[in-house]
Amino acid sequence: MKIDPEEALGIDTLLQHLGEDTRHEGAIAPAIFQTANFLFDSIDAWQSTTANPSGPPYVYSRVANPTIEMAQRKVAVLEGAEACKLTGSGMGAISAVILGHTAQGAHVVTVDTCYSPLRILLEEYLPRFGVSHSYVSGLCADEVIDAFRPETTVVYLESPSTMVFRLQDIRRIAKAAREKGIVCAVDNTCGTPLFQQPLAIGAEYALHSGSKYFGGHSDLTAGAICGPAKALDKILKYEINLLGSIIAPFPAWLLARGLRTLPLRLRRIEATANEVAGWLSGRAEVDVVHHASLPSYPQRELFLSQMTGSSGLFSFEPRVQDEPKIKAFCEALRLFKIGVSWGGHESLVVMAEVQPLGYAQKRWVVRLSIGLEDAQDLIADLAQAMEVSGL
Ligand SMILES: *Cc1c(COP(=O)(O)O)cnc(C)c1O
C-alpha cells in the first residue's frame, strides 16, 4: 500500500512507512540499492530520463538512487518541506546552499557563533570568489536585518547556535529577508524538526547534519537540505552533482533506520537534558548554564514562541575559569566520553574557550551532549567529576 505524505498520519507513523512502498521479496526492511548505475531496455528509454534527473527511472547514483529517495522522503515530511536532498555530510549541505546562492560580489550574513567549518568557508574560501560576509550576534532581529546590504544574497542562521546556544528570531528575519529577495537558511540540527519548524515560519531552507540526531547512533555522516522542490532541483543539478556531495546508499539507509526512533529518542533525551541542566544550574561550581528550557534563559520568550522543546545539547560556564581544572573535570567523567560531534546514543563532553559577540572577555565553556543513559547516572557522574577535579 502506498503511503502519501499528505495523509493525515502522525509523524511517528510516517517515519515508519513513508517512502517504503516497494517491497522486495517480501523483505520487511527496505532494500539497499548498493549500485552505481541503472540499466535501460533501449537507448530511447535511457535518453528520455534526462528530463527528470531525480528519477525514477534512475540513471546514476551520483544524482539519485531509490534508497536515498526513500530516506529523503522521510526527512522532507519531518521538516514539512516540499523536498529534501541528502548529502554526504552536514557541511556538504551547508556548502551546497551557500554556493548555490552566491556569485562574484555576493555577501552573506551569519551569526558569529555558527558551526566552525562554516566560518572557514566564509573566511578562507569564499573570498577567493569575491564573496564577503558579516557576523552578527543574532540576539536581536534588527541587528541581523541592519546587516543586510544591497549585495546580500543569503542570511544563514543557526538557532540554537552550537556553543552558547543563542536563538535568532527566525520569523522576523526570514520575513525581512524575503522582502529583499535574500534567501534565509536555518541550520536546524540542534533545534530538530520535532521542536522547531523553520520553513513553517518563513525560512527558505532548513538544513541538518544527519550525523547527529537523525542517524542517532554515531555511525554515519550525512547532511540534509529541506526546502522548495524547484530550488532543490537546481542545487541537485549544480552543487550536489558537480561537487559530488550526494550521500551514499548505505548511510542513507542507516539514516532512514535512525529516523524510525528519532521522536522517541528526542523525547527521552529532552527529559534527561532538562534534568541534568536543572541540576547543574543549582550547583555552586557553575556560573551559567546555556540551556533554552531553563527559566533563567535570557531568550526565554523567543524560545517559547519559536520552539516546542529543546534537545540534549547544551553547555555551561564553570565558575572557576581555570583551564587545567576544567580539563581535569572532563577527564574525570566516566560516562560522558570526550569527543566531537553529538546527538548519538552516548553522552559526550568537550570544552572550548569562546568569546561570542557581546562577551567582554573569553570564557571557558563545557559542552555536553546528552545521550540515552539514565539521568541519575549522568548526574552522579558529573558530581563525582566535580569532586575529583576540584572544579
Ligand atoms: C555537526 C554540525 C554540522 C556539520 O555536519 P557534518 O555532518 O559534521 O558535516 C553543521 N551544523 C551543526 C550545528 C553541527 O553540529
Whether 246 is covered by a domain: the verdict is yes
Same structural domain for residues 269 and 227? no
Report d(CA 41, CA 248) in Å as an integer.
Answer: 25
Same structural domain for residues 199 and 300? no
Atom of ligand 1 nearest to the CA of 94: 10
Same structural domain for residues 326 and 361? yes
Same structural domain for residues 90 and 30? yes
Atom of ligand 1 nearest to the CA of 221: 7
User: For position 1, what pLDDT does the model report?
Assistant: 62
Report d(CA 18, CA 196) in Å as an integer.
Answer: 21
115 CB under 6 A from ligand 1? yes
CATH of residue 244 = 3.40.640.10
What dihedral angle (degrees, nearest 10) is formed by the CA atoms of 19, 21, 25, 28? 60
Other C-beta atoms closer than 10 Å to the C-beta of 340 total: 8
Domain finish residue from 197, 232, 259: 259
User: For position 22, what pLDDT does the model report?
Assistant: 67
Report d(CA 21, CA 2) in Å as an integer.
Answer: 5
Question: Sign of torsion, CA 157 311 217 78?
Answer: negative
Whether 171 is covered by a domain: the verdict is yes
Query: Could you tell which of 86, 89, 91, 116 is best to mutate to test the pocket of ligand 1, judged by most ligand atoms within 8 Å of the CB?
Result: 91
Whether 5 is covered by a domain: the verdict is no
User: For position 7, what pLDDT does the model report?
Assistant: 72
189 CB under 6 A from ligand 1? yes
Same structural domain for residues 314 and 171? no
Same structural domain for residues 203 and 267? no
User: Contact, 197 vs 218, CB < 8 A?
Assistant: no
Closest to 210 measured CA to CA, from 188, 230, 228: 188
Q: Is the pTM of this model over 0.95?
A: yes
**Number of domains, the chain:** 2
User: For position 8, what pLDDT does the model report?
Assistant: 81
**Cα separations (Å) of 375 from 102, 269, 293, 312?**
45, 9, 16, 12
Q: Domain of 363? A: 263-389
Other C-beta atoms closer than 10 Å to the C-beta of 138 total: 28
Report d(CA 378, CA 280) in Å as an integer.
Answer: 11
Q: What is the pLDDT along the chain (391 residues), one digit of tens a residue?
A: 677 776 789 999 999 989 887 678 889 999 999 999 999 999 999 888 876 777 789 999 999 999 999 999 999 999 999 999 999 999 999 999 999 999 999 999 999 999 999 999 999 999 999 999 999 999 999 999 999 999 999 999 999 998 999 999 999 999 999 999 999 999 999 999 999 999 999 999 999 999 999 999 999 999 999 999 999 999 999 999 999 999 999 999 999 999 999 999 999 999 999 999 999 999 999 999 999 999 999 999 999 999 999 999 999 999 999 999 999 999 999 999 999 999 999 999 999 999 999 999 999 999 999 999 999 999 999 999 999 999 9
Domain finish residue from 205, 225, 259: 259
CATH of residue 324 = 3.90.1150.10
Strands 286-290 and 313-318: antiparallel
Whether 32 is covered by a domain: the verdict is yes
Whether 376 is covered by a domain: the verdict is yes
187 CB under 6 A from ligand 1? yes
Query: Taking the mean position of all CA atoms in its chain, how far away is CA 131?
Result: 24
Same structural domain for residues 60 and 77? yes
Cα–ligand 1 centroid distance for 357 (angstroms): 21
Cα–ligand 1 centroid distance for 91 (angstroms): 6
Whether 364 is covered by a domain: the verdict is yes
110 CB under 6 A from ligand 1? no
User: Contact, 382 vs 333, CB < 8 A?
Assistant: yes
Residues 22-48, buried b or exposed e (16+ Cβ, 10 A)?
eeeeeeeebbbbeeeebeeeeeeeeee
Whether 385 is covered by a domain: the verdict is yes
Atom of ligand 1 nearest to the CA of 158: 13
Same structural domain for residues 70 and 187? yes
Query: Taking the mean position of all CA atoms in its chain, how far away is CA 210?
Result: 7
Report d(CA 340, CA 7) in Å as an integer.
Answer: 39
Report d(CA 370, CA 377) in Å as an integer.
Answer: 12
Same structural domain for residues 227 and 368? no
162 CB under 6 A from ligand 1? yes
Cell numbers linked to 163: 556553543
Cell numbers linked to 150: 544591497
Atom of ligand 1 nearest to the CA of 210: 7
Name the strands in the sheet holding 337-338, side by side, starting at the edge strand that comes first in the sequence. 286-290, 313-318, 363-369, 348-354, 337-338
Domain finish residue from 236, 259, 282: 259
Nearest protein CA to atom 2 of ligand 1, as residue: 209
Whether 6 is covered by a domain: the verdict is no
Cross-strand pairs, 290: 315
Report d(CA 338, CA 330) in Å as an integer.
Answer: 7
Cα–ligand 1 centroid distance for 90 (angstroms): 5
Atom of ligand 1 nearest to the CA of 189: 13
Query: Could you tell which of 115, 208, 367, 369 is best to mutate to test the pocket of ligand 1, judged by most ligand atoms within 8 Å of the CB?
Result: 115
Same structural domain for residues 245 and 165? yes
Cα–ligand 1 centroid distance for 46 (angstroms): 37
Residues 6+ apart with CB under 8 A from 128: none
Match 532538562 to its residue by C-alpha cell: 274
Cα–ligand 1 centroid distance for 283 (angstroms): 30
223 CB under 6 A from ligand 1? yes
Same structural domain for residues 347 and 238? no
